[in-house]
Amino acid sequence: MIPNISITDLLNFNNLNIIDIRSIEKYNNNHIPGSINIPFEKLITKPNEYLNSQNRYYIYCQKGITSKKICGILINMGYKVTNIIGGYEEWITKKE
């Protein structure tokens, strides 16, 4: 089972390890504050370069579909990850 968190719940926390797996262009256009950009191709091919297996990471994409798939793959590799439901598009609607 893939853990999920809503944008509403996410906004109640500080200092989370948030990863934007969209392209660098989309990230540079706008992103969830405090997130870092690691395009999903890099994250999947070399997760050990970016992730510590002891830490929890919160992952999002544009709509939450790709990030859910990526979370499943990373969980099978032994990483602690949580999918952000609705991704960046959901954040846009809740950030006000």
Give the pLDDT mean for 59-68.
97
- This prediction has a pTM of 0.95
Give the pLDDT mean for 4-18.
93
> What's the domain range around 63?
4-94
CATH number at residue 20: 3.40.250.10
Confidence of residue 46 (pLDDT cuts 50, 70, 90): very high
Domain count for the chain:
1
pLDDT surpassing 90 at residue 96: no
In whole angstroms, give the CA distance from residue 26 to residue 5.
Answer: 22
Give the pLDDT mean for 5-15.
92
The neighbour count for residue 33, using CB atoms within 10 Å, is 8
CA neighbours closer than 13 Å in the CB half-sphere of residue 58: 22
Beta strand 56-60 pairing with 80-84: parallel
Q: Which amino acid is at 23?
A: S
pLDDT surpassing 80 at residue 23: yes
pLDDT at 29: 96
| CA dihedral (37, 39, 42, 46) positive or negative | positive
